[in-house]
Amino acid sequence: MITLKLNGKDHQLDVTEDMPLLWAIRDVAGYNGTKFGCGMGLCGACTIHIDGAPARSCITPIGSVKGQDISTIDGLHTDPVGQVVQKAWLETAVAQCGYCQGGQIMSATALLKTNPNPSDEQIEEAMVGNLCRCGTYNRIKTAIRQASTHLKEAKA
């Protein structure tokens, strides 16, 4: 048994330590918002937060995250920055097919938590490795800028 702190709750999972975190999250814990994309950590669809930092869950063994806080898109609605990012995504109509968007939102949220006022170059750097087959990159960047503006206004 491995105890996984997932979206603020402890989950007892009967899995091996080498199981990819993605499968433990989806198939065992039942949080299906995190998507399988490539299985090699290259596309970003499976992006989650481990202690607040973005990580690819498809290549992260569950045994390597014991004692750490794991957050997925399924629990992001409880995070104040995540709420702002999700709102900006909707206002900007970012998604087309939507498959990659959970990973995109997780990466954008991690960026804005560490840098609430990123430059375009910093946005591009933070989002590298999050692929969108629909090509919504310009809308993604616009939504991140909009979320940044909302965060600044909320602090004022």
pLDDT tens for residues 103-119?
999 999 999 999 999 99
The predicted-structure confidence for 36-86, as pLDDT tens digits, reads as follows 999 999 999 999 999 999 999 999 999 999 999 999 999 999 999 999 999
Question: What pLDDT does 156 receive?
Answer: 66
Domain spanning 79-154: CATH superfamily: [2Fe-2S]-binding domain (1.10.150.120)
Q: DSSP string covering the chain, please?
A: -EEEEETTEEEEE---TTSBHHHIIIIIS----S--S-SSSSS-TTEEEETTEEEETTS-BGGGGTTSEEE-GGGGGGSHHHHHHHHHHHHHT--SS-TTHHHHHHHHHHHHHH-SS--HHHHHHHHTT---TT--HHHHHHHHHHHHHHHHHHH-
Over 80: is that where the pLDDT of 125 sits?
Answer: yes
Whole-structure pTM value: 0.95
Domain over 2-75 is classified CATH 3.90.1010.10: no
Q: Are 134 and 126 in contact (CB under 8 A)?
A: no
The gap between the terminal CA atoms of the chain, to the nearest Å, is 47
Quote the CA–CA distance of 18 and 98 in Å, as a whole number: 29
Identity of the residue numbered 37: G
Q: Which two tokens stand for residue 35?
A: 């998507």
Q: Where are the domains of the chain?
A: 2-75, 79-154
